Amino acid sequence: MTMLRVENLTKVYDDGTVALKDVSFEVPEGQFLAVIGLSGSGKSTLLRCINRLIDPTEGRILWKGEDITAANHEDLRNIRRRIGMVFQNFNLVHRSKVITNVLAGRLGYTSPALSVVNRFSRKDREQAMVSLERVGLAEKANNRSEELSGGQQQRVGIARAMVQDPEMILADEPVASLDPVLAHSIMQYLEAINHDDGVTVLCSLHFLDLVHRYGQRVIALNEGRKVFEGLPSEIDDEMFKEIYGREAERVG
Amino acid sequence: MADLKTTPAKTPPREEVKPKKLRPVRRSLWMAIGLLAGFVIYAYGFQVVNVNLDTIGDPVRQGRFANIIRALGSPDLLTYETVATNVDIDFAMPCPADGFTAAASEGGAATISIDPPCADSRGIVTVSGEGFGSNEPINIFFVPPNGIELRVAQVRTNADGVFSTEAQLPNRPDEQVQTIRAKTRERVGSIFNPVYVPTGQTNSETGEEIVLRSPRWSANAEATWRGIIQTIFLALLATTVGTIIAMPLSFLAARNLMSDVRIPVLNVGLAIVALPVGAVLGYAAASGGGGIVDRLPGSALLLGAVTMVLVWLGFRALRFAVPLPDTERPRWLRVGAGLAAAAAFLLASQSAVRFMEIGGAQAASVLGPLAFLGTFVQRLGEIMALVFGVLAGLAAAVALAIFASKLAYAIAKNVGPGMNQVLSVVAVGLAGAAIAVGIGQAIAWMYQIIDTTATVVIPAAIGAVLGVGLGVWGAMRGQLGAGLGIYYIFRTFFNTLRSIEALILALVFVVWVGLGAFAGTLALALHTIAANAKLYSEQVESISSGPLEAVRATGATRLQTVIYAVVPQIVAPFIAFTMYRWDINVRMSTIIGFVGGGGIGLILQQNINQLNYRGAAAQILAIAIVVAAMDYVSSRLRERYV
């Protein structure tokens, strides 16, 4: 069953930059899709268009048959709360406690009136703790998030996405700010969520070996256009040059 | 790990940037012109500000200046009782035919002599004395037989306790021997060794003799103390009230929060139309609720109980209206419960206000020295009663606007896009007419116009036309940047208000609420709102946007995003700015009394006007101590929180 269908997506920023040009693809339910491309190729814009953090200029995005691009303010809240997002820079609120950052994932389900007085239900709190345990940070729940290391912060970011009970996770370069050893540990959490919970994952990545290891399917962007779609194993040297440009060189 | 490496693209050869070099002659020429311009500007400045050294050199002015500086060194803080010592010598007026020789003067070690020993009416004599204290002020009196002292000279002894002065005598010839008296007054007691001086008067109530401590705080010191306390609390109230109001408003004046608030045209139109309707309904509901509560007997106990029951009911209804997720409940039941909760809270606040007014007054009558606590509660109740209608109107206006926006979403779902556009244009047209009528009414009030054609019909027509124009333009784009509109309105408002100094605001409030610290508090509070809202909103604009994005992505509403992603990032700078503002307000409130705004400035101004520099010195000293202390405390606290 198709989870996500992107049709002829185009994004032109106010300053005239064309970030995405006529991109179309489909993601079946439960797939781990890797999105690759150079910096500035439009990966981040693509992921942010899917949950409308950025409004696309043209094209449609259908999520489980629902048109995200036509959704109003209220529909969008219902859609967003079922799509988790993980960021390159973790995007935690540094001054807040770890548990508060995780609980923020439940905001889409919480009445605005209650969150004014900083209240979450007991169930939400329990779920947040379970989620933190899953990423191995339960004992840090009451620390300030700025006290955590980069890898730990990203695990909190994953826990925040998980308490949303998401059907899909958008991961925007989740390991680009981390050192290579940590990268695998973070990717394994995403893999587990994909494998064990059946959550569809769209993950943009820099390193090709991570793509080979975790991606079930790949799409590649170059200057806003989709230049490749297929299995990771299909990326040969010729394809690599197509994606990364003639001057790129494979190392390692 | 496999990585990819891109060879850097060839960069075009960079153009040599040659520093612009002027030839030495031209450089000197420019320098000369610059110096000349500076000379002219300063020359003109001197003329404009009247730089005048003649007055500085004037010995009279120098003397006055010195007196002021010396007064600062001996502020009027203590009052001493004094004891007078008289040194008398016999004197004859007119001179008897056979001449006159006075007996030696009496008065212990000190003696005075008169030369000549007798004189005619209005004669001039030289009075000399020795054996007095050094640098002691001495009054010379002519004392006729009736004993009434007539002062004829004032003099100060030299370092050896010697004086000599000429004195013109009055026209008081008498056959009997008269007296010339040198009188010295001596302070008694000292700070470490105070003396209790009986006054000889009795207290009319207790019948005990009044005994005065010497030295004791002078009246000026006591007034200074009261003034500085008033000043500190004036600044505290103004800062806290201003801050509480400025904080939520500052979010509306933060560009990063407001710029991406785009709202469908229909929502904007309906919400604007809903605002005045909601305001009227809310105000009416508040007055109606007040009427109901007013019929209850005025017993504090009963009102308190009623308030608690209503609050409890309100919370129950609210819990019902806003259930936890996963609870299914029909929409109409929830809306009904929401309205019931609103009604319960409305009545609860009304009875709470009455409770505070009545209970506060009762408490004040039994609390004795703590009566000010009861009075405070009573005053708070009165303030709330005053602003209650306005607040209720505001709340209802916002609630109805939100409801109108939800209605607009529902309409948009059920009608086609063409119909939606038509409705949008109509709604924005109506909104434009409503706003224009509002402006028309303001103008009518300002210039006292009673012609309704000019203040209602014409503005409505113009507003409707402009609104329809905006509506057509917006309907083609689908959304209006309402956020930026609100941002500009608030920014402009704050910038305008901020440019009016608190002293000038105080002048206006003195006219409105009368002389005193209350006017000063209002002026400072208003200025604090404008100044802090601007500072706060700049803080909000400088937060990191990542967490904002992350919280928005979870499906949080705008309000939730602000609470969870913005507020934690700005708590520390907000505390720092509030401290800083308190510091500024303490300094401002010391001078706000100059224009009638209460506090220590009032006493200071009075003393300066009466040329009582020693009195003024006490106030200046108090201000310096308090401001320095505030400065120290606020900088320490800022260090800790930032």
Type of residue at B570? I
In terms of C-beta density within 10 A (0-12 exposed, 13-18 middle, 19 or more buried), how is residue A227 classed? Answer: middle
- B566 in contact with A at a CB cutoff of 8 Å? no
Q: ipTM of the assembly?
A: 0.93
pLDDT at B188: 82
B555–A113: do the CB atoms touch at under 8 Å?
no
CA–CA gap between residue A150 and residue A162 (Å, rounded): 18
How many C-beta atoms surround the C-beta of residue A79 within 10 A? Answer: 21
- DSSP code of residue A30: T
In terms of C-beta density within 10 A (0-12 exposed, 13-18 middle, 19 or more buried), how is residue B45 classed? Answer: exposed
CB contacts of A76 in chain B (<8 Å) are 555
User: Among positive and negative, which fits the CA dihedral B23, B25, B28, B34?
Assistant: negative
Q: Per-residue confidence at B30, pLDDT binned at 50, 70, 90?
A: very high
Q: Which residues contact B415 (CB under 8 A, 6 or more apart)?
A: B423
CB contacts of B555 in chain A (<8 Å) are 76-82, 107-109, 164
Q: Are B142 and B178 in contact (CB under 8 A)?
A: yes
Min Cα separation A25/chain B (Å): 22
CB contacts of A107 in chain B (<8 Å) are 551, 554-557, 560, 564
Q: What is the pLDDT of residues B537-563, one digit of tens each?
A: 999 999 999 999 999 999 998 889 999
CB contacts of B5 in chain A (<8 Å) are 248-249, 251
Min Cα separation B435/chain A (Å): 26
Q: Per-residue confidence at B2, pLDDT binned at 50, 70, 90?
A: very low
Q: What is the pLDDT of residues B387-406, one digit of tens each?
A: 888 888 998 999 899 889 88
B558: nearest CA in chain A?
A: A112
* Least confident residue range of A102-106, B4-8, B258-262, B518-522: B4-8
Task: Give me the helix-helix angle, B265-295 and B417-447, nearest 10°.
Answer: 50
Tokens 């407001």 belong to residue:
B258
Least CB–CB distance from A53: residue in B552, B559, B563: B552
pLDDT at B107: 58
Q: What is the rounded average pLDDT of the residues B279-285?
A: 89
pLDDT at B10: 43
CB contacts of B556 in chain A (<8 Å) are 77, 104, 107-108, 115
CA–CA gap between residue B559 and residue B281 (Å, rounded): 25
Helical (H) or strand (E) element with B216: strand B216-217
Min Cα separation B268/chain A (Å): 13
Q: What is the pLDDT of residues B266-278, one digit of tens each?
A: 888 899 999 999 9
pLDDT at B536: 92
Query: Is the pLDDT reported for residue B323 higher than 80?
Result: no
- DSSP code of residue B10: P
Cβ pairs A/B, distance under 8 A: 135
Query: Is the pLDDT reported for residue B207 higher than 70?
Result: yes
B564–A89: do the CB atoms touch at under 8 Å?
no
- Find the length of chain B: 642
pLDDT at B105: 65
A118–B563: do the CB atoms touch at under 8 Å?
yes
Q: What is the pLDDT of residues B42-82, one digit of tens each?
A: 999 988 988 888 887 888 888 888 888 888 888 988 888 88
Query: Is the pLDDT reported for residue B144 higher than 70?
Result: yes
Query: Is the pLDDT reported for residue B11 higher than 80?
Result: no
pLDDT at B190: 83
CA angle at residue A171 from A168 to A172, to 5 degrees? 145
Type of residue at B273? V
A76–B546: do the CB atoms touch at under 8 Å?
no
Strand pairing of B209-214 and B3-6?
unpaired
Q: What is the pLDDT of residues B95-104, one digit of tens each?
A: 887 777 777 6
Query: Is the pLDDT reported for residue B211 higher than 60?
Result: yes
Q: What is the pLDDT of residues B345-386, one digit of tens each?
A: 888 888 888 888 888 888 888 887 888 888 888 888 888 888
A249–B547: do the CB atoms touch at under 8 Å?
no
Domains of chain B: 31-72 (no CATH), 80-217 (2.60.40), 224-257+488-642 (1.10.3720.10)
Strand pairing of A200-204 and A32-36?
parallel
Min Cα separation A38/chain B (Å): 10
Q: What is the pLDDT of residues B393-441, one digit of tens each?
A: 998 999 899 889 888 888 888 888 888 888 888 998 999 999 999 999 8
Query: Is the pLDDT reported for residue B13 higher than 60?
Result: no
- DSSP code of residue B453: I
Please name which of B184, B157, B186 lies closest in space to residue B80, comparing C-alpha atoms. Answer: B186
Look at the pTM and tell me if it is higher than 0.90. Answer: no
Could you tell me the two tokens for B216? 């004791």
CB contacts of B409 in chain A (<8 Å) are 72-74
Q: Per-residue confidence at A252, pLDDT binned at 50, 70, 90?
A: very low
